[in-house]
Structure 1
Amino acid sequence: MRKTLIVVLCGATLVARSQTTIAPVGVIKGLSDSALLDVVQRQTFRYFWDFAHPVSGLARERDNTVKAEYYWDYINEADGDPNFSRHTFGPEACAIGGTGFGILSTIVAVQRHWIGRDTALRRLVKIVDFLTKADCYHGIYPHFMNGATGKTIPFGRLDDGADIVETSYLMMGLLCAREYFAGNPPLEIYFRNRVTAMWQYADWNWHSKGDNKHLYWHWSPANDFDMNFPIYGWNEALITYILSAASSTHPISKELYENSWVHSASWRNGKSYYGITLPLGNFDYGGPLFFEQYTFMGIDPNGLKDDQGIDYAEQTKAHTLINRAYCIDNPKKFKGYGANCWGLTAGDSYIGYVAHCPQDDRSVIQPTAALSSFPYTPEFSMQALKHFYYDLGDKLWGPYGFADGFSETRNWYAKTHLAIDEGPVVVMIENYRSGLIWNLFMQIPDVQRGLHNLGFTSLHLKN
């Protein structure tokens, strides 16, 4: 089962309503590799710091439109039953998952001294105070939220309530921040208590519909589980199962994880592409690269194995190398593709938001794909970064880092930045450089409990 989102953009440029506190820079020639990574991480972080919603501090879903028309077509691949809906949003639309990514990025910003610790903490307290009063459903938050009112913005006709996957990204960020801000100042204690209350209140098991057959992506107060969208593997949602099993108050069972994820028809692959064996995933060539990035912003795949014999370091690297090899092979002969210009993943294109991958290749490269792969392919990711920055910087580089996507074939360069594409750039480059987020997140007792409960082993786990 797959959720497909197509976005058609219109309207005028939207200007951030907060004073810039981190000054943007243009393309600077002759940087060392380390200095270049500093520049890219720092400028990308501005999206979450300077462009955050002024009322709530949440991450805006995207940056460049006052008005955006969204078209959704949900397709149940098991029975082909479509559900179509159309909505128009303005700049109040904030992303719950993107906010989680922004919180992880804020930890990086503090550690690298782009912002002060106390200043960052006040922003995080603003976020959790807002969320404790905002719409949630059995402790699970919606996909999109109005950043001024805290009210749910429906994602679709039946999807107007809880989104357990987006909530898992939010909780990944909050739990990691709780681990980082572990000091004795009253505001740090206050923040940790707020996060713990949110974490304990979240009823992950509610999304099992009371049995151990499936974990469901959505629940609606008006439509119950009519969305009927189980979370099958392999995709971006492994973190959802890990955190659902980690809960001390409302955990799912390992049986549910195995029935809904491991035993699904879309979990294993085992085929070879360009001489590289891909352990997991129903997509030929692996699908969009965000499958290997969202969960692994917090979960360290190195040394991570499960009781099915899967090595997650092998999975993440294999998928990335296959994606790059496909772009080098370039069977559709698109302009620009090559060893220094690769990366197919979900993001904006000339027709809207598309989950780009070898099976749906439309000549669009997303910079986030290669840059968020730094922990897996550092040499190749650096090669792509230098091309994006030095060779294409006049078209791609802006106040929030790189534009979301581009097609040299069509001479099209996005004017957009998306929270869910910005966050992985900051975090995954940092995991490559220092392991900061991996080391914090993997030492959290709740996370270790979830991994243990699902049969994982890792060098981070305590016996």
Structure 2
Amino acid sequence: MREKLTNDELLDLESKQSFTFFWEEANTNPDSPGYGLIRDRAPGLPNMASIASVGYGLTALAIGAERGWVTKEQAEERVLGTLNTFLNHADQRHGFYFHFLDMNTAKQFGGCEVSVIDTAILICGVLTAGQYFGGEAQVLAQQIYERVEWDWYRNPETNQFYMGYDDEKGEHFGTWDHYAEQFMMYFLGAASPTHPVPADMFDDFTRYLGYYGGHGPIIHSTGGALFVYQFSHAWFDFRDREDKYGVDWFENSVQATLASRQFCIDNADKSATFGPDSWGMTACDGPRGYHGGYGADPNTSKRDYVDGTVPPCGAAGSIVFTPEESISALQNYYTNYPKLWGKYGFQDSYNLDETPEWYAEDVIGIDKGITLLMIENYRSGFVWKQFMTLPAAQQGMALCMGEPRSALPQAKA
């Protein structure tokens, strides 16, 4: 055990160290076509950048400048160089980028797909940075957004986005056919001034409904990973808003988070890691490699294993939904498990059921990103305030969900 920090001290420390990942694990060679690219993880795979990591990183630059962790001039220089990389150098198809890029060349890395969801995360960061820094950054950000041909990624037969695009085969594959983290895709696509998609794409995905541990109803994903309830919420503010079907998506994430925590409490007899202050299963590193299937009920797939891996970003990324429970978990991780803390704050995950106890060696950009953005939204609402002033955010949500309550005409007394 080590000395406990106050809640404010802990949140500030984890935020600052998460920001440091995005600041230090970037290509800062001004002569490189990959300037501004940010590693997918560290210290592993030093040559692989993730465009989603860059999306979180561009938002992190705005947070860091606002918090004074770097000067606004330093952050703006990094932003402008990064936007130039994506406008002029990074491999793309119809405005969509490859999931992973070579850190130095900005070319496709390892035969990966052209990714619609990772491009959407990138665009959220691009637009946030453009809005915060203004001027040239805003112009470049809008150019990157307007180049995305959302309609190219839409299956006209199902009115759904394809899951990915295989560049070698020259064809799309898969489908976004049920609820997950993809709301940002609908909103950005519907609001596009150049290549819009129908707003009713928001109507054409399956909504699985379930309950767990007294929590619900929950419109849930098939795997139960918490990131699906977090990622779009990092930028889009769903608070005090229902869609045209009466669904409160913020409250849906609250219920999903509470259910996920209850799952770990209920299964504490199966894992030494699980408990009321160690919960939040989501995609992360595990003892046998990265696994996207870590999750909790309710879900629509059979869950026949519990391997005891917990990532701090599960609770941290849900702090706006469950502040008391999330902070209590972070205090537990920091105070009682010093091996879970490293150069960039919390390591990616840990598992007490392994012999010896297992702690991740890496941190992962998207996990540090959701941690940083959600803690900042909890502390100040900064990301929401910046992003929700954008026409793309306001119009996209209104087109897909209906107008926010404050915009609806009030009944006369």
User: Structure 2-normalised TM-score?
Assistant: 0.90
Which of the numbers 173, 176, 180 marks the counterpart of 2:125? 173
Residues 348-405 of structure 1, C-alpha deviation per residue, up to 9 Å, x if partnerless? 0001111211335311000100011110111111111111111112x11111111101
8 Å CA contact 1:179–1:440 kept in 2: the answer is yes
Q: What is the correspondence of 1:299-378 to structure 2 with a 5 Å cutoff?
A: 299-330=236-267, 333-355=270-292, 356-358=294-296, 359=303, 361-378=306-323
**In the alignment, is residue 436 of structure 1 matched against residue 367 of structure 2?**
no
Taking structure 1 as reference, are residues 315 and 50 closer, same or farther at Cα in structure 2, changes over 3 Å only? same
8 Å CA contact 1:443–1:461 kept in 2: the answer is no
Q: What amino acid is aligned across from residue 274 of structure 1 in structure 2?
A: G
Between Structure 1 and Structure 2, the one with more helix by share is 2
Give 2:109's aligned residue. 153
Partners of 2:191 and 2:174 in 1: how far apart? 22
Give 1:34's aligned residue. 8
Partners of 2:200 and 2:289 in 1: how far apart? 39
Taking structure 1 as reference, are residues 30 and 222 closer, same or farther at Cα in structure 2, changes over 3 Å only? closer
**In the alignment, is residue 47 of structure 1 matched against residue 3 of structure 2?**
no
Taking structure 1 as reference, are residues 392 and 247 closer, same or farther at Cα in structure 2, changes over 3 Å only? same
Partners of 2:406 and 2:65 in 1: how far apart? 24
Residues 176-209 of structure 1, C-alpha deviation per residue, up to 9 Å, x if partnerless? 1111113xxxxxx221111111111111111114
Give 1:115's aligned residue. 70
SS of 1:278's equivalent?
Answer: strand
Q: What is the correspondence of 1:213-232 to structure 2 with a 5 Å cutoff?
A: 213-225=159-171, 227-232=172-177
SS of 1:300's equivalent?
Answer: coil
Structure 1 residue 91, shift from structure 2 partner: 1.8
Which of the numbers 321, 329, 344 marks the counterpart of 1:400? 344
SS of 2:270's equivalent?
Answer: coil
Partners of 1:210 and 1:324 in 2: how far apart? 39
Structure 1 residue 217, shift from structure 2 partner: 2.6
Alignment size in residue pairs: 393
Residues 256-300 of structure 1, C-alpha deviation per residue, up to 9 Å, x if partnerless? 3323x2xx3xx231x2211111331243xx700001111110011
8 Å CA contact 1:278–1:315 kept in 2: the answer is yes
Give 1:135's aligned residue. 91
Give 1:190's aligned residue. 136
Structure 1 residue 343, shift from structure 2 partner: 1.3
Which of the numbers 184, 202, 205 marks the counterpart of 1:257? 202
Give 1:21's aligned residue. none
Runs of 4+ in 1 over 4 A off after TM superposition: 209-212, 459-463
**In the alignment, is residue 98 of structure 1 matched against residue 35 of structure 2?**
no
Q: What amino acid is aligned across from residue 151 of structure 2 in structure 1?
A: N
SS of 1:191's equivalent?
Answer: helix
Structure 1 residue 35, shift from structure 2 partner: 1.6
Which of the numbers 214, 225, 230 marks the counterpart of 1:293? 230
Structure 1 residue 50, shift from structure 2 partner: 1.1
8 Å CA contact 1:343–1:367 kept in 2: the answer is yes
Taking structure 1 as reference, are residues 102 and 361 closer, same or farther at Cα in structure 2, changes over 3 Å only? farther
CA RMSD of aligned residues (A): 1.9
Partners of 1:443 and 1:461 in 2: how far apart? 15
Give 2:149's aligned residue. 203
SS of 1:223's equivalent?
Answer: coil
**In the alignment, is residue 268 of structure 1 matched against residue 208 of structure 2?**
yes
Any unmatched runs of 5+ in structure 2? 30-34, 297-302
Taking structure 1 as reference, are residues 256 and 378 closer, same or farther at Cα in structure 2, changes over 3 Å only? closer
Give 1:421's aligned residue. 367
Partners of 1:460 and 1:431 in 2: how far apart? 21
8 Å CA contact 2:211–2:217 kept in 1: the answer is yes
SS of 1:279's equivalent?
Answer: strand
SS of 2:306's equivalent?
Answer: coil
Residues 232-257 of structure 1, C-alpha deviation per residue, up to 9 Å, x if partnerless? 22111111111111111101002333
Taking structure 1 as reference, are residues 175 and 96 closer, same or farther at Cα in structure 2, changes over 3 Å only? same
Partners of 1:312 and 1:46 in 2: how far apart? 31
Give 1:281's aligned residue. 220
SS of 2:41's equivalent?
Answer: coil
8 Å CA contact 1:218–1:229 kept in 2: the answer is yes
Q: What amino acid is aligned across from residue 401 of structure 2 in structure 1?
A: G
Partners of 1:389 and 1:322 in 2: how far apart? 23
Q: What amino acid is aligned across from residue 382 of structure 1 in structure 2?
A: I
Give 1:7's aligned residue. none
Partners of 2:247 and 2:137 in 1: how far apart? 37
8 Å CA contact 2:130–2:140 kept in 1: the answer is no
**In the alignment, is residue 64 of structure 1 matched against residue 43 of structure 2?**
yes
